[in-house]
Amino acid sequence: MSASYRVVIVGGGVGGMELVVGLGKQRAAHPPLEVTLIDRSSVHYWKPMLHEFAAGTVSHEQDCIDFSVEAARHNFRFVQASLSGVDRAAKSIAVTTAGGAHQSIPYDALVVALGSRANDFGIAGVLEHCAFIDSLSDASAFRARFRDEFIAADREQRPLAIGIVGGGATGTQLAAELCHAIDETPSLGPAARARTLRMTLIETGPRILPAFPERVSTEARAQLEKLGVDVRCEAMVIGVDETGFALKDGTHIDAPLKVWAAGVRATDATNLFEDLDRGRGGQITVDAHLRTPKDPSIFAIGDCARNNEEPLPATAQVARQQGIYLAQNMERFAAGGPVDPFVYRDRGSVVAFANYNGWGMMPNAKSFGGGPLRGIGARLVHDILYRQHQGTVSGHARGVTAFLQGLFGKRDQHPL
């Protein structure tokens, strides 16, 4: 290994943070590792919580981790900037700060962990008229708009129509959290939700939560409908305008407030790697070692990566395991020694509908949750998964404290 082996990670999401924290521990024993993290935000957040931030039921200020603070704790350099160019021949990337300053950063190993965004599928009007919940800034902007429009509509005694496209985890959980936000606001409550909110959840497929067993889909739909959500399955959106959604069957769903939570594709920044193999969704093609076949000095993990031989779902669980794998093996990659391939271990999945209900799925596809206990076990697992990651990044004492506060404390007492 050279005197200083430079590892640059672009993207501080779940996978990126697991990687820099793990490399920080490695660097304590092996100083030649020089680690740099680049992210356009100043804070790290658990992306599966974005729907809660967007509804206002959880305050993101309490659940964000400052990159600069963690950089000092875990022996890495943090640069707040956006990726703007890649020079593979020179082994350097160009980044641009929010203020417009440009910087060139050299690397020996470049790890792309840029995450993903919802997929508009090229449908007319989606980008112009729909809100997305793909980042902390997206969630904050939507929360402000939802709060203002709902309060105004309730005050004026008129309905507020909201349309959410996408019946996966993000769309269904967002629908439940929006209901919960109204219910938990003292000046509003369930009565205000019933008289003002008109929410429609639109799913192209035959059922919501298609990754879960059919029992979960059926119970989840029943829970949403109990909350007053109009669930439309086998409904394909072909166009969006200011007034709402046009469906393939010729019907129109009125929704002045629109959210697009359908599909997954890599962020646009992966277009900068145009000379590397990429999939239809923009994901960078990697091999069993998470390396790009055309350039062994570039790795990709999480939602922006795809192994065509063994494709994996775009989940925080996958990204976390991949970040840990690279942290454990980066020194071997640097030395050119043999490295075992990445092996994903499915730990199951959970979906939580605020305090209303929750379900989980074990690796053997057996489901649990729902029923008279309102899925309390699944909802606890949902929180534990995040606190486990938080503990890895900021210390287990903070993770345990935050978990206990979430378990025995109260959520935001005035979401709206």
Q: What is the pLDDT of residues 289-343, one digit of tens each?
A: 999 999 999 999 999 999 999 999 999 999 999 999 999 999 999 999 899 999 9
- Domain total in the chain: 3
Q: Are residues 274 and 242 in the same domain?
A: no
* 282 and 232, same domain (yes or no): no
pTM: 0.92
Looking at the structure, tell me whether residues 275 and 372 fall in a common domain: no
Residue 340 lies in a domain: no
Q: Looking at the structure, tell me whether residues 139 and 257 fall in a common domain.
A: yes
Q: Is 162 helix (H, G, I), strand (E, B) or coil?
A: strand
Q: Which of 23-32, 229-238, 368-377, 395-404 has the lowest mean pLDDT?
A: 395-404
How big is the chain by its Cα radius of gyration, in Å?
Answer: 22
pLDDT tens digits, 92-136: 999 999 899 999 999 999 999 999 999 999 999 999 999 999 999
- How many H-runs (helices) and E-runs (strands) does the chain carry? 11, 26
CB distance 302 to 14 below 8 Å: yes
Task: Kindly report, residue by residue over 169-190, the tens digit of the pLDDT.
Answer: 999 999 999 999 999 999 999 9
What is residue 383's predicted lDDT score, i.e. its pLDDT? 73
* Together in a domain, 368 and 381: yes
In 183-294, DSSP assigns E strands to 197-202, 230-232, 237-241, 244-247, 252-254, 257-260, 265-266, 284-285, 291-292
Report the C-alpha gap between 371 and 357 in whole angstroms. 8
Residue labelled with tokens 């469906």 = 247
- Could you tell me which of 43, 16, 56, 10 has the C-alpha nearest to residue 320? 16
User: 39, 141 in Cβ contact below 8 A?
Assistant: no
Could you tell me if residue 109 is inside a domain?
A: yes
- Containing structural domain, residue 404: 346-411
- What are the beta bridge partners of residue 356? none
Last residue of a domain, one of 234, 263, 292: 263
Residue 371, pLDDT > 90, answer: no
The yes-or-no verdict on residue 10 having pLDDT over 90 is yes
Instruction: Give the percent of the chain with pLDDT over 70.
Output: 93
Pull the structure tokens for residue 280: 């239809």
**Domain-ending residue, one of 292, 309, 335:** 335
Beta strands 230-232 and 237-241 are unpaired
CATH of the domain at 291: 3.50.50.60
Residue among 347, 265, 275, 269 at smallest CA distance from 306: 265
Q: Which of 335, 361, 378 is the last residue of a domain?
A: 335
**Rounded CA separation 276/285 (Å):** 8
**DSSP type of residue 48:** G
